[in-house]
């Protein structure tokens, strides 16, 4: 009898705890629902790269149009973008969590904002579903790209990454995505399966639907007749066949800092559809994006005149494809830099082993014309990566033992002084990459200025 009473007491405690948890969950959902009603326009920016930039561009354009808009970036350094144009650092106690998106919604309601534009934080499909469908419930989604990076959580191919990102797309919600991203059949299929209304944004290379602007087409049948309610083509030009060349390797014009034109195109197309149409010409979709401040990890190209070293700081790009686009866009803007021998400065993190393997594969395949690679960051992983590069790529690779960013920079300048070198900084922004970014900015002036 005593055991039976203990069992019943335990059962009642467990049941009571579950009931309290359920009540708390229902209460939280009710509160979030009421908050969302006060913020009618909720924009989620998701994707692999470029999210922070697009958030900043959209925030600037809507603010310039008179909207009371609150923005939030996660990126290199989490920031809250206020309706006044000021920025506040987001303080965290512990690791970043998607639950902080609740705080942003509450802040938007408290500031009487009618628009909130938020950078998605989730990497895994499960977190993406909770962040979007349970917390934010976005009215619009902007998807920058689907590139392979967090392999273990998001997938090993663009199609798998797109499927993971698709978990953040509510059914029937407009999803803006560059048409170049839809050139991959697996990406198209994954995004269509998510159930959103895919709006393909045009690009400067004219990957367009031959039937003209605003038309719809079925990706399975190509540009033949027949509507597809899940895909709308925007800004098409009649008579031009689809092209598969990546149009994203170009910088926008009219911005304070180096910004990919694809990000400006995506932000401009979305704001145009909301009714805040740009007054610039079609050839300058990147112009007039408002008073946009660069993210902490934004691309910078500097020249140290004393040593004749050009630094392309692409630490925050993280993945090989994004970095390839940076190199291509840099050479397109400054053709003379293509004549400089390129030295790779690879910042390695011990907690990003999958990313390190992606980069080792890219170096092995000679996707970058490095004359040598210098490794910084975690020493043990740097040594192993250097051995792999020397063995697999037959390329000179060395490890810098210095830990402080100023000493790393001084060593690099001392080694490559007066050789006309271009240093491409890549891999990871966190750790010594963040500090080295500040050092390069102090040591050199903006290239081309």
Model pLDDT for residues 169-210, shown as the tens digit of each residue: 999 999 999 998 999 999 999 999 999 999 999 864 333 332
| Domain total of the chain | 2
Paired sense of beta strands 370-377 and 397-399, if any: parallel
Produce one character per residue of 407-417: b if its CB has 16 or more CB atoms within 10 Å, e if not: ebbeebbebbe
Say whether both 244 and 332 belong to one domain. no
d(CA 263, CA 60): 13
Contacts of 143 (CB under 8 A, 6+ apart): 46, 47, 165, 169, 175, 176, 177, 181, 191
CATH of the domain at 106: 3.40.1190.10
Say whether both 75 and 224 belong to one domain. yes
Contacts of 97 (CB under 8 A, 6+ apart): 121
pLDDT for position 226 = 36
Say whether both 271 and 323 belong to one domain. no
Say whether both 372 and 425 belong to one domain. yes
Of the residues 215, 249, 284, which one is the last residue of a structural domain?
284
Q: Is position 29 within any domain?
A: no
Q: Is position 249 within any domain?
A: yes
d(CA 123, CA 328): 27
Say whether both 172 and 91 belong to one domain. yes
Say whether both 325 and 358 belong to one domain. yes
d(CA 264, CA 446): 21
Q: Is position 9 within any domain?
A: no
Nearest to 330 by CA among 254, 424, 266: 424
Quick one: 6 exposed, middle or buried, by C-beta within 10 A (0-12, 13-18, 19+)? exposed
Beta carbons of 45 and 176 less than 8 angstroms apart: no
State the CB neighbour count (10 A cutoff) for residue 110: 11
d(CA 297, CA 357): 22
* DSSP structure class, residue 56: H
Say whether both 198 and 279 belong to one domain. yes
Say whether both 280 and 316 belong to one domain. no
Say whether both 269 and 402 belong to one domain. no
pLDDT for position 214 = 34
Q: Is position 343 within any domain?
A: yes
pLDDT for position 95 = 79
Produce one character per residue of 259-295: b if its CB has 16 or more CB atoms within 10 Å, e if not: bbbbbbbbbbbbbbebebebeeeeeebbbbbbebbbb
Structure tokens at 373: 């690679």
Of the residues 284, 314, 333, which one is the last residue of a structural domain?
284
Q: Is position 417 within any domain?
A: yes
Residues of the domain holding 214: 34-284
pLDDT for position 152 = 80
> Which positions of the chain have pLDDT values less than 50?
204-229, 233-245, 279-288
Of the residues 251, 284, 317, which one is the last residue of a structural domain?
284
CATH of the domain at 323: 3.90.190.20
Q: Is position 178 within any domain?
A: yes
């Amino acid at each position: 009898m005593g055991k039976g009473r203990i069992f019943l007491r335990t059962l009642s405690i467990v049941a009571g705890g579950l009931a309290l948890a359920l009540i708390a969950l229902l209460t939280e959902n009710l509160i979030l629902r009421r908050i969302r009603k006060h913020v009618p326009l909720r924009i989620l920016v998701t994707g692999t790269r470029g999210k922070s930039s697009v958030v900043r561009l959209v925030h600037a354009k809507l603010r310039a149009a008179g909207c009371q808009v609150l923005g939030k970036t996660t990126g290199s350094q989490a920031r809250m973008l206020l309706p006044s144009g000021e920025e506040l650092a987001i303080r965290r106690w512990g690791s970043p969590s998607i639950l902080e998106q609740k705080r942003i919604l509450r802040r938007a309601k408290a500031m009487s904002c009618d628009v909130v534009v938020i950078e998605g934080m989730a990497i895994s499909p499960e977190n993406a579903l909770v962040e979007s469908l349970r917390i934010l419930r976005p009215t619009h989604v902007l998807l920058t790209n689907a590139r392979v990076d967090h392999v273990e959580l998001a997938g090993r191919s663009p199609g798998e990454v797109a499927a993971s990102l698709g978990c953040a797309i509510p059914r029937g919600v407009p999803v803006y995505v560059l048409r170049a991203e839809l050139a991959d059949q697996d990406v198209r299929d994954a995004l269509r399966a998510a159930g959103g209304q895919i709006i393909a944004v045009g690009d400067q290379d004219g990957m367009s639907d031959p039937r003209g602007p605003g038309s719809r087409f079925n990706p399975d049948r190509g540009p033949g007749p027949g509507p597809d309610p899940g895909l709308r083509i925007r800004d098409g030009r009649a008579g031009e066949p689809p092209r598969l060349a990546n149009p994203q390797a170009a910088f926008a014009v009219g911005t304070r800092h180096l910004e990919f034109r694809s990000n400006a195109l995506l932000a401009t197309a979305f704001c145009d559809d909301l009714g805040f149409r740009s007054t610039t010409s079609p050839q300058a979709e990147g112009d007039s994006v408002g008073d946009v401040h660069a993210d902490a990890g934004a691309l910078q190209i500097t020249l140290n005149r004393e040593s004749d070293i050009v630094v392309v700081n692409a630490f925050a790009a993280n993945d090989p494809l994004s970095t390839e686009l940076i190199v291509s866009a840099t050479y397109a803007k400054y053709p003379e830099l293509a004549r400089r021998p390129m030295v790779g400065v690879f910042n390695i993190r011990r907690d990003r082993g999958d990313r390190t393997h992606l980069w080792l594969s890219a170096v092995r395949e000679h996707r970058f014309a490095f004359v040598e690679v210098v490794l910084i960051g975690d020493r043990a992983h740097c040594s192993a990566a250097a051995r792999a590069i020397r063995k697999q790529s037959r390329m000179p690779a060395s490890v810098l033992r210095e830990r402080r960013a100023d000493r790393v920079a001084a060593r690099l300048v001392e080694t490559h002084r007066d050789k006309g070198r271009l240093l491409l900084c890549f891999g990871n922004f966190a750790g010594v990459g963040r500090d080295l970014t500040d050092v390069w900015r102090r040591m050199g002036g903006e290239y081309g200025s």
